[in-house]
Amino acid sequence: MKKRRTVAALVLAAVALALCSVRPEALAQSRRPVARRSSSAVEHAHESTGLFSYMTVERAMIAVCTERSNDPLGSAPIDVMQARPSMDVDDPEVVAGAERAQRLLPLAKKYAIASLRGLATEYGVPAWRVNAAAARMQAVTQIEPDMDLRDNAIVYSDDARTIYFGTIFLIGLPSEEGMISVLAHELTHLGDGPRDLLHPLFDLIGKRASNLTGLEITGRRPEELTCDVVGARSVRSYIERAPSNDTVARRLARGVEHNCVTEDETDEYHLSPRSTLRAVFAVNPALARAIIGGTSDDTGSTSIKRYQPSRVTTSPSRAAGTHPHHRLR
């Protein structure tokens, strides 16, 4: 907490300094061509932009987790789900969750494919790759609840039509937005498939997120991060087309808020949940701004007081398979 405050204070000081130092110069030298600005001034402006986006990301993380805690349909955080007992597939809540997933699957396919197309254009990935992945995603038709999967969803490369859902996970995602995000995540794994169709995109997004956040994003993590980015973007597309009485911020938050954990632990495949949030917002500043800009009434200054930065554990203390939406093979 203390460290964060210090960083925030430094950022404010740097921004204030930048504003103070630019203004008189701009007034005094208003007739000078822009090209004559000194290189140090340019560097300073660049650095300020970086600081602004850092603040945007941090504020969006606070906003998401505040929305989650006030939302009757908020997703359960990953660490809370992990602590719950497994539910039987016949439990009415599980049945309702599976029906919700099955009903939203066509929409999730549509928006996940559209998000991938947008990302491919943005990152310069050949269209044939997304077209081939989209064909695989269109073939997914089944949701299969599985008690033993607990708080995970899993897809198997030799069963390209089915997304398997742990019963705890089905119950932990009561909102349509939360469900669409997880479905889009799993669909992205299935779209990638055994030919690794989407790996060039995974690598580019992983590198960009790493450059922006300083996080080490290697191994399977670029893929998991990209699946989460597709999930968050799919929710945004869904919200634009399906009106609701809930605020845009609350609805956008549902796409990522299962990462609002207290125990911020990681495994060998994923970034920690809070690092995932940070990376998703770093590569989607527009999403971060939309969440900050569209917060509900009770997310003013009080939300900052309520925010408890969690302890960061970097050791892979979590056993593989206990994290949501793994692809095992």
- Binding footprint of Zn ion on the chain (CB under 5 A): 192, 196, 224, 227, 325
* Torsion sign (Cα): 186, 272, 268, 287: positive
Residues in CB range of 5: below 8 A, 6 or more apart = none
For the bound state, the minimum distance from the C-beta of residue 223 to Zn ion, rounded and expressed in Å, comes to 6
CB atoms within 10 A of CB 132: 17
Task: Classify burial at 31, counting beta carbons within 10 Å of its beta carbon; exposed 0-12, middle 13-18, buried 19 or more.
Answer: exposed
Shortest-Cβ-distance residue relative to Zn ion: 196
What CA–CA distances, in Å, run from 90 to 87, 145, 146, 163, 309?
A: 8, 10, 10, 18, 38
For the bound state, the minimum distance from the C-beta of residue 131 to Zn ion, rounded and expressed in Å, comes to 16
Nearer to Zn ion, 50 or 321 (CB): 321
The three-state (H, E, C) secondary structure of 179-221, written as one string: HHHHHHHHHHHHHHCCCCCCHHHHHHHHHHHHHHHCCCCCCCH
Nearer to Zn ion, 249 or 271 (CB): 271
For the bound state, the minimum distance from the C-beta of residue 203 to Zn ion, rounded and expressed in Å, comes to 11
Nearer to Zn ion, 56 or 75 (CB): 75
Nearer to Zn ion, 196 or 298 (CB): 196
* Torsion sign (Cα): 249, 250, 251, 254: positive
For the bound state, the minimum distance from the C-beta of residue 166 to Zn ion, rounded and expressed in Å, comes to 13
For the bound state, the minimum distance from the C-beta of residue 326 to Zn ion, rounded and expressed in Å, comes to 6
| Kind of pairing between the strands at 142-146 and 159-166 | parallel
For the bound state, the minimum distance from the C-beta of residue 181 to Zn ion, rounded and expressed in Å, comes to 12
Nearer to Zn ion, 177 or 224 (CB): 224
- Measured distance CA(146)–CA(149) in Å, rounded: 6
Nearer to Zn ion, 87 or 227 (CB): 227
